[in-house]
Amino acid sequence: MKLDELTLYLDELLQAPKYRDYCPNGLQVEGCGGVTHIVAGVTASQKLLDLAVERGAQAVLVHHGYFWKGEDGRITGMRRKRLATLLGNGISLLAYHLPLDAHPELGNNAQLAALFGWLPEGRFGEQDIGWFGRLPAPATLAEVSAGINGALGRQALVIGDPARPIRRVAWCSGGAQGYFEQAIALGVDLYLSGEISEQTVHLAEESGVAYVAAGHHATERYGVKAVAAHLQARFALECSFIDLDNPV
């Protein structure tokens, strides 16, 4: 598949031009013109790039790419090594941030709903990134958090009374704790995101709404994995998702 065709397809599939974001979405680093093997992962770390080289991939597809707003733009140290790995091996880097959180089927939040068995009812937050809905049946916070832990394969940080009944939920993958107050205003019993800060604990305790910090990386594995599977099924491409564990 030609690189420009792949880029155009992903841009349209994920509606990349629609989103105001903190980084450029789509093709971030241009490699060779043809793509037969894509390595996908959450973040374009040096370790992921080295594995892409090892596996003979022509493109890397990630959720967290490069060129974030406010970053030092100089190509030195770690940045120089990463870009040298890509350019020196003709590997392209494609990254989709908010578009990959928000996609109604392949996105991180859609995939989390399917993983947990939650029933989506609507969207909220800036650019409708956050989701809200309900459980198939009421459960206690302890039961819900146990299910989350089992699905993600890690121990989430849970703030709230374990016996609290949970019916309505809201969620947004990654570092979306800033949407917690909006979720509370929706009347939910629980809000899930990837991260938590000191003040978030107080907000959870004082509002009575449970907060689950399930891991930034852990909540953002599933969108890029779903897109990779979609590309492999639709085109004659080998797509390898590599989950490099991250405790945060």
Per residue of the chain (248 residues), what is the pLDDT tens digit?
999 999 999 999 999 999 999 999 999 999 999 999 999 999 999 999 999 999 999 999 999 999 999 999 999 999 999 999 999 999 999 999 999 999 999 999 999 999 999 999 999 999 999 999 999 999 999 999 999 999 999 999 999 999 999 999 999 999 999 999 999 999 999 999 999 999 999 999 999 999 999 999 999 999 999 999 999 999 989 999 999 999 99
Q: What is the pLDDT of residue 27?
A: 98
User: Going by DSSP bridges, is the β-strand pair 157-159/130-140 parallel, antiparallel, or unpaired?
Assistant: unpaired
State the residue for tokens 């909540």: 219
Q: What is the 3-state secondary structure (H, E, C) of 34-53?
A: ECCEEEEEEECCHHHHHHHH
Q: What is the pLDDT of residue 161?
A: 97
Cβ-proximal residues to 114 (8 Å cutoff; 6+ apart), any chain = none
222: nearest Cα among 241, 205, 235, 248: 241
Q: Phi and psi dihedrals of 44, rounded to 5? A: -80, 60
State the residue for tokens 């040096």: 46
174 contacts 220 by C-beta, under 8 angstroms: yes
Q: What is the pLDDT of residue 236?
A: 87
User: Going by DSSP bridges, is the β-strand pair 26-29/130-140 parallel, antiparallel, or unpaired?
Assistant: unpaired
Residue 70 CB coordination number (10 Å) = 6
40 contacts 220 by C-beta, under 8 angstroms: no
- What is the b/e burial string over 123-157, where b = at least 16 CB atoms within 10 angstroms of the residue's CB? bbbeeebbbbbbbeeebebeebbebbeebbeeebe
* Stretch (H or E) spanning 8: helix 3-13
- On the 0-12 / 13-18 / 19+ scale of CB atoms within 10 A, 49 is buried
Q: What is the value of pTM for the model shown?
A: 0.97
Strand residues in 44-109 grouped as ranges (E) = 59-64, 92-95
134 contacts 119 by C-beta, under 8 angstroms: yes
Q: What is the pLDDT of residue 82?
A: 98
Cβ-proximal residues to 101 (8 Å cutoff; 6+ apart), any chain = 107, 108, 109, 129, 172, 173, 174, 220, 223
